[in-house]
Amino acid sequence: MIYYLGLIGIAAFSITGVIAAGKKDMDIFSIVLLGMVTALGGGTVRDILLDVNPVFWIADLSYLWVSLLASVLTFFLIRYVTHVLRLLLFVDAFGLALFTILATEKTIDFGFSAPVAVLMGLITGIAGGMIRDVLTGRMPLLLGKEFYATPALLGAIIFPVLSYYFPLHDLNRLYAIGIIFIIRASAIQWGLYYPRWLTYRKRN
């Protein structure tokens, strides 16, 4: 069940990655590479940092094929996809929530400490999009302003806290995924921003 939800999340990451970063006159090769980097990049960075071998998409090729297929279809169906873009943003939010918490949990299960697990959850959720932005010449650090990384960070912090206080509770994972999804979905729906006192005001 979680496995298939994961594949749906990978597909959503690929599609929104292509739509967010695709530029006019870019060839199909670059477009598909963009979609795959967005979907698989975060987990790849996590596996390299934790020295998990082989990397998840080498260990199980399904992720690769789903991402490839979703990116190619997006290329050809882009005219129709934009009609359901808003729906896709919510599926993407679900993918963000799912991957962040699954990675946090996996890192704890490997025996790493909670702060490392929080960071690995965050990296899994957002690094793919950051690599994509670097490859297309955008400033990835503006991601934060869109309230994309922040919900992931909050959920990744809440999960080990819940697990500490309610160690045998089966629903901790679900609660943490829900928190990320709800904050991110609210941000999509109502456009949340950081308050002024939490944005940088350099002199001059």
Single out the residue of 3, 29, 165, 190 in contact with its own copies (rule: CB under 8 A).
29
Task: Among 135, 162, 182, 185, indicate the residue that binds its own copies (CB under 8 A).
Answer: 135
**Binds its own copies (CB under 8 A): choice among 50, 182, 185, 192:** 50
Give CA–CA dist 92/10, Å, rounded.
9
Instruction: Count the Cβ atoms, other than its own, within 10 Å of residue 149.
Output: 22
Residue 18 and residue 88 in contact, taking contact as beta carbons nearer than 8 Å: no
Instruction: Select the residue interacting with its own copies from 28, 77, 87, 161 (CB under 8 A).
Output: 28
What's the one-letter identity of residue 25? D
Shortest approach of its own copies to residue 158 CB, angstroms?
16
Q: Residue 56 CB, nearest distance to its own copies (Å)?
A: 11
109 binds its own copies (CB under 8 A): no
Binding piece for its own copies, criterion CB under 8 A, among 95-103, 110-118, 169-177, 182-190: 110-118
- For its own copies, the closer of residues 25 and 170 by Cβ is 25
Q: How far is the CB of 6 from its own copies (least distance, A)?
A: 19
Residue 192 touching its own copies (CB under 8 A) = no
**CA–CA gap between residue 159 and residue 154 (Å, rounded):** 9
Q: Does 162 bind its own copies (CB under 8 A)?
A: no
CA 103/CA 105 separation, integer angstroms: 5
Would you count residue 72 as binding its own copies (CB under 8 A)?
no
> Residue 44, interface with its own copies (CB under 8 A)?
yes
Rounded Cα gap, residues 134 and 132, in angstroms: 5
- The secondary structure of 39-101 as a DSSP string is HHHHHHHHHHHTT-SS-HHHH-THHHHHHHHHHHHHHHHHHHHGGGHHHHHHHHHHHHHHHHH
Give dist(CA 23, CA 20) in Å, integer: 9
What is the amino acid identity at position 28? Answer: I
List of residues contacting its own copies (CB under 8 A): 22-31, 33-34, 44, 48-51, 53-55, 58, 61, 64-65, 75, 78-79, 82, 112-113, 115-116, 119, 130, 134-145, 149-150, 153, 194, 198-203
